[in-house]
């Protein structure tokens, strides 16, 4: 996630409050999902020294975790093929692990 995107997310989080926002990820593999989730939750691990104060404080969910909240036809139109390609259980495991690490009191969806 580039620095400009982080700045935008930080501005939104400050404007609306951490409790009103979640980050929805579309990362294609567990490793990238972890990086994005950690960035949204805390500081970007790639720029730890530079952005130590940049705590975004947002919980992340991968789009595949939110399937039940999305119209089934819309979900199929965008995600049916990706479900074949992605390691969905692996991604969900990794993203939820990051949530538990940063937000120990989180309630799973």
Partner 1 sequence: MKYPVIKGTSYVLIHTPGLLLQQANLEGLPFSHLLTDQLRSFDSVAGYPPNQAFIGNLFPEDLPQIPRPWYNNSLPNAKRQGLLGEIFPEDEFLGLLHAVDVYGLVCLEAGFKLAVSEKLRSHPALSGLNGIATAQDNGCSHAEIQEIIKAGEALPLTFGGRIIGCIRKAHSSDSTLSASRVLENLTAKASAAAALQLLFRKTGLKPQDVDYIIETSEEACGDLRQKGGGSFAKSIAEACSCSNASGADTRAFCAAPVHALMQGAALVQSGIFENVVVVAGGCSAKLGLNAGIHLAHGMPVLEDLLGAFAFHISKDDGINPIVRTDLIGTMKVGCGDSPQQVYSSLVAEPLTRGGYKILDIDRYAAELVNPEIIEPTGCGDLAQKNYKMIASLAVLRREMDRTGIEEQIQRFGVPGFAPNQGHIPSGVPYIGPARDLILRNKVNQVMIIGKGSLFLGKLTRLYDAVSLIIQRNPKQKASVSI
Beta strands in the chain (DSSP E): 22-25, 59-62
Of 26 and 103, the one with the shorter C-beta distance to partner 1 is 26
Residue 87 interacts with partner 1 (CB under 8 A)?
no
Distances (CA, A) of 12 to 25, 65, 92: 16, 23, 25
Distances (CA, A) of 9 to 44, 97, 109: 12, 21, 22
Residue 107 interacts with partner 1 (CB under 8 A)?
no
Residues 35-64 that bind partner 1 (CB under 8 A): 35
Q: Cβ 79 to partner 1, closest distance in Å?
A: 7
| Interacting residues with partner 1 (CB under 8 A) | 4, 26, 28-29, 31-32, 35, 77-82, 84-85
């Amino acid at each position: 996630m580039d620095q400009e995107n982080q700045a935008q997310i930080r501005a939104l989080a400050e404007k609306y409050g951490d409790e009103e926002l979640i980050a929805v990820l579309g990362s294609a593999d567990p490793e990238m999902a972890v990086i994005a989730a950690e960035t949204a939750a805390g500081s970007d691990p790639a720029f730890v020294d530079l952005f130590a104060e940049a705590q975004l404080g947002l919980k992340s969910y991968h789009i595949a975790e939110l399937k039940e909240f999305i119209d089934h036809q819309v979900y199929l139109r965008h995600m049916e093929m990706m479900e074949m390609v992605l390691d969905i259980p692996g991604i969900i495991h990794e993203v939820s692990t990051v949530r538990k690490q940063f937000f120990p009191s989180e309630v799973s969806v």
